[in-house]
Chains A and B, each alone.
Chain A
C-alpha cells in the first residue's frame, strides 16, 4: 500500500484547467520533488491534497483511506502536514507559541510524549531548526529565513507521516538555502516522508531521488533527477524548442 495515492486529479478554475488528470504515488520513507514552470499547477496540486481546494474529480488516498473531500484541519490531523509558499506565521504570537498552536491540535496533543510538557516539546522543536534564541520574540520580528524555518517546525510539531513543503527555498540567500537543504536532509534521515515543490532546481536535484515534472496542469515526466535532466520534453518546457 502506498502512503499517498493521487488518481486522475482534476481541477479547473472557470475555463482554465489548473490540474489535469494527475496521478502519482508516494511511498513511506521517500523524498520526491515536484517541479515545473510558473503556473504549472504545483501549488494547486498541494492545495487539493491538503483540502484547501475541492477537486472536480479524481481521488486522493492517504494510507488507503480516501481524503478527497475532508476539510484541511482533518487532513492535517491524519498526519499530512504542509508549509506555505508565502510564509504564514502567527505574527502576534511569540515564536514558541506558533509551535504551541500545532501542539494544541488533536494530533499534536496525542503525539506529545507523556514525559514532556507541551512547552518543553515546543522548545525542542525550535532548537531543532535553530530558533531557540528567538523563542519569546513575536514572530513578526523574525527574518524571512527564520520564518521559513518556523513554518517547517510548526508542520513538524504535528509529527506528520507525510510532509509537503511548498517552495522551502523561496526567497532564501545561498547560505540559508544550504542550511535548509541540510535540515531537510536531516528530516529525511529521521524518517520523514517528504514531498517538495520547488523552483530552485539546483538545490532540489541534490536532495530527491525521484522527480515529477508538471506543465500546464499535466504531469509530463517522472524519474530520477538524472533522467529528468536528459528528458527532451522537460528541456523543451523549460528552455523552449531547439532549432
Chain B
C-alpha cells in the first residue's frame, strides 16, 4: 500500500516535473538552493541570499498585480514598509512573538491594500501609477510626524530575530532556510492564483476592461482582490525583512524601494511570476557578489556598472531573461529529460539486436 503510494508520487514526479524542462530546471535550482549552505558560505553571502529570497516574494506579488492584472503600482514600498512597521510596533508595544507579528503584518497589508485599492481604481494606466507613487511618500511624512510611535527618522531597531535560541551563524542558516521555504510557499500560491480561473479574469482585465464588463465580470471587485493579494505577500516579505535586519526605518518608503520589484519584473519577464523570482537572485548576485566581492569596485562605480548591465540586458531581451530561457527550453524537443533517457534505452535495445520496431 505504502509502496504503491510512493510509486504514484514517483510517477507523477516523472510526468509533471521531470518531463517538462522549465519545471525540471526550477526543481534543479531548488535542490541547489537547498544544498548551497553545505558548501560553506560566508555570512555576507547568506545575507545576500536571504535578501534575494524576500525580494523574490516582493517581485512575484508585484508581478501578479501589474503583469497579470495590468494595474500599474509604483508605490509597492508602502506595503513593504507597512509590513515592517507593523511587526516592529507589535513587538515594541505588545512583545509579540515574530511568528505572530509577521502573520498579523501580512493581514494588515492585505487590508491596507484592499482599502487603498478602492480609491486608486478610479484612475487608470499612468495616472494610477502616479497616484500609487504618492502613497508611500504620504506614509513617510506620517512616520516623521508621529515620532513618538515610529521613532521618526531613526526608525525602530532591536526587533527580535526569528531564531534567537540558536548560535550566531546557525541563526543565519536557519533564517536562510526559513526564508527559502517562505519564498517557495508564497511563490507557489501566487503562481497558482495567477493560473487559476481568477487569474484568467485578471488577465482579461489587463487585456480589455470593457469586454470584461460585457462578460459580466465585476471588474472593481477583481482589481481590489488583486491589490489585496499583492499587498498581503508584499507585507509578508517586508515583515520578514524587518526581523532579519532587526530594524525598520522611513527609508523603506523611498522611491528606490518601490522600484525594486519593477526592475526585477521587467528584467525577468513581466507577467510570468517566475521572471521576477529568478531575477531577484540574478540581480542580487550581480550587485552584491560579482560587483563587490569578485570584482571589487567603489560603490559609485558599482551602481553605474550595475545599472548599465541591467539596461543592456533589458534592451537585448525586452521580454525578460527568464521568459527567453523558458521559451528556448520548450522549443528544444531533445532537451526533455525523458526523451533523452528514452533515446538511450532505444539505442541500447538496437545495439543488443532486440529492437521492437525492427525494419521489415
Contacts and interface: CB of A to CB of B under 8 A. Distances in A.
A73 B218 contact: yes
A91 to B, nearest CB: 5
A89 B203 contact: no
Interface stretch (B208-216, B242-250, B326-334): B208-216
A84 interface: yes
A179 B161 CA distance: 69
B200 interface: yes
Interface residues of A, number: 32
Contacts of A52: 210, 213
B338 interface: no
Contact of B215 (A91, A92, A101, A118): A101
B211 A105 contact: no
B207 interface: yes
Interface in B177-220: 197-198, 200-201, 203-204, 206-208, 210-219
A20 interface: no
A108 B215 contact: yes
Interface in A82-109: 82-84, 88-93, 97-98, 100-102, 104-108
A64 interface: no
Nearest to A78: B216
Nearest to B210: A88
B207 A73 contact: no
Contacts, number: 81
Contact of A102 (B198, B215, B271): B215
Interface in B25-39: none
B215 A105 contact: yes
Given A73-B219, A77-B216, A91 B200 contact: no
Contact of B211 (A90, A104, A118, A157): A90
A76 B207 contact: no
B305 to A, nearest CB: 35
Max count, chain B CB within 10 A of own CB: residue among A90, A105, A106: A90
Nearest to A164: B214
Contacts of A88: 208, 210-211, 214
A213 interface: no
Contacts of A158: 215-216
Contacts of B213: 52, 71-73, 76
Interface of B: 197-198, 200-201, 203-204, 206-208, 210-219, 271
